[in-house]
Amino acid sequence: MHAIVGENGAGKSTLMKILYGMQKPDEGTIVVDGEKVSFHTPGDAIARGIGMVHQHFMLADNLTVLENTVLGSEKLYGIGDAARKKIKEISDAYGLGIRPDVLVEDLGVADRQRVEILKVLFRGARTLILDEPTAVLVPQEVDALFANLRELKSEGLTVIFISHKLDEVLSVADEITVIRRGTTVTSVKPADVNARRLAELMVGSELPSPQTRESTVTDVPMLTVTGLNLAAFSGEEEGRKVLDDISFTIHKGEILGIAGVEGNGQTELIEALIGTRELDSGTVVLGDDDITAWATRRRREGGVGYIPEDRHRHGLLLEAPLWENRILGHVGERPNSKGPWLDPKAARADTERIVKEYDVRTPGIEVTAASLSGGNQQKLIVGREMSHEPRLLIAAHPTRGVDVGAQAQIWDQIREARHEGLAVLLISADLDELIGLSDTIRVMYRGRLVADADPATVTSEELGSAMTGAARGHLEHTESADDASGEEPDASGEGAEEER
């Protein structure tokens, strides 16, 4: 049983998709039973005895377990008693406890997962890939699943197990491969490591890039947020507070990093700040302006730059040419328009400038945004937002899905702008990025800012425990562990030295 661990976005799922033939690799080889293979479709992988249990179940609720199992592979054992007999056989052999004639909609999550495993075995898989199988299970069910997996192992099957829950991995795997940012960091035996060491490998103990950490933080507040409250207004969580009394201040020249597991209110915080979501209460002050009542357009043209977390949905018009994308969000500003009229000529010229200055790799500005790579799209967005002299930059996962070269560039640009007095709100799932860039870090958990930390001294692990709600307050001991803590780290303490 082989476990693959890595952070969100490290490339685990992509790797698995390649193994299962859903995606084609650019380079490299896959060897199954000593034979080099290449998969074009999942069908090829199945033929080679590789089966995958997806994180999100792929079952038809209104069919029985039997029907779900034979669906798509009716040729193997038919759809009648022969199939039922085979299902029984597999179920008994591995202790899955399957009842073939129950409707899937009547099954619980753990049972459904077993049906998924059964489906894979039914198709003759000898190698099982399980994509974060424990994410949906409660602890008892996890134990039962592991018992099943050990059963499979003892029958000579291979299990590839993807997870980022380290304790589970250590308890069940025979070998662990750690991947980070798309490359293999190392392979270890569980006996040789502990959870702490594994976490270090996972998040990478070194920081993203060397940087001079001279503080550019001033004491002029640029963004002051006071008492933001927002309740979910629809869905089953209606009424639950998604933003719960959020207050912080970002000064000129300061980068405030927000750490947190996704879905803890970060998206809502951004929406509240750019004005696409109305607040229940609270005020937002930018510089000297109370912008709480400002519409989105006024905010953005009034100095709020925005690098959205999902650039395809919020940052670009994919089928429009680059120069039109350069206008997006800043249609009322020079050089894009004069009065009510667009100025396509000036916008084009300025797009050329952005392409050059921000090193957007494109054959020209008339191509659609969709034809650029993710990194180049992001560089265009960064260039666009920086071109309007923002006072505040909201950067959500600014380097997500961006190749390493572009990553460093984007970081440099953010640092440079900070140097010139920009205030930055940085929201990221990449803890390296947060620690490396931020002047102050706050941790968001269930709509609240529960902890704060000094990026010069805090470790990924410490942040991680606060992100799951395990730790609160100031994350390491300094003399003034006060609650306000939007304060800049006191620059005297840490010099420009060792970040590595």
Residues making contact with other proteins (CB under 8 A)? 274-276, 295-301, 306, 308, 313-320, 324, 327-332, 337, 340-342, 344, 359, 361-368, 370-372, 405
Apex 157 CA angle, 155 and 163, nearest 5: 125
Between 61 and 366, name the residue whose CB sits nearer to other proteins: 366
| Least Cβ distance, residue 359 to other proteins (angstroms) | 7
Please identify, using beta-carbon distances, which residue of 4 and 386 lies nearer to other proteins: 386
From 15, 67, 24, select the one nearest 177 (Cα to Cα).
Answer: 15
In the complex, least distance from residue 393 CB atom to other proteins, rounded to whole angstroms: 14
Report the distance separating Cα 193 and Cα 199, nearest Å: 10
CB of 13 to other proteins, least distance (A): 23
Q: Do the beta carbons of residue 342 and residue 327 sit within 8 Å?
A: yes
Q: How far is the CB of 357 from other proteins (least distance, A)?
A: 14
Which sign does the torsion angle of CA 429, 434, 438, 441 carry? positive
Facing residues of 161 across strands?
A: 3, 130
Please tell me whether residue 32 adopts helix, strand or coil conformation. strand
- Judge whether 49 and 122 are in contact, CB under 8 Å: no
Pick 224 or 267: Cβ nearer other proteins = 267
Nearer to other proteins, 216 or 336 (CB): 336
- Pull the structure tokens for residue 435: 């620690």
* Nearest residue (CB) to other proteins, 277 versus 472: 277
Q: How far is the CB of 337 from other proteins (least distance, A)?
A: 5
Q: State the minimum distance, in angstroms, from the CB of residue 72 to other proteins.
A: 27
Residues 6+ apart with CB under 8 A from 293: none
Of the pair 193, 316, the CB lying nearest other proteins is at 316
Q: Which is nearer to other proteins, 125 or 381 (CB)?
A: 381
In terms of Cα–Cα distance, which of 187, 216, 189, 219 is closest to 201? Answer: 187
Sign of CA dihedral 66, 70, 74, 75: negative
Choice between 134 and 376, CB closer to other proteins: 376
Q: How far lies 445's CA from each of 89, 96, 266, 352, in Å?
A: 46, 37, 9, 42
C-beta of residue 3 within 8 angstroms of C-beta of residue 163: yes
Minimum distance from residue 307 beta carbon to other proteins (Å): 11
Least distance CB 262 / other proteins (angstroms): 18
Cα distance between residue 87 and residue 69, in whole Å: 8
Give me the count of residues in the chain: 500
Closest CA to 373 of 351, 347, 342, 405: 405
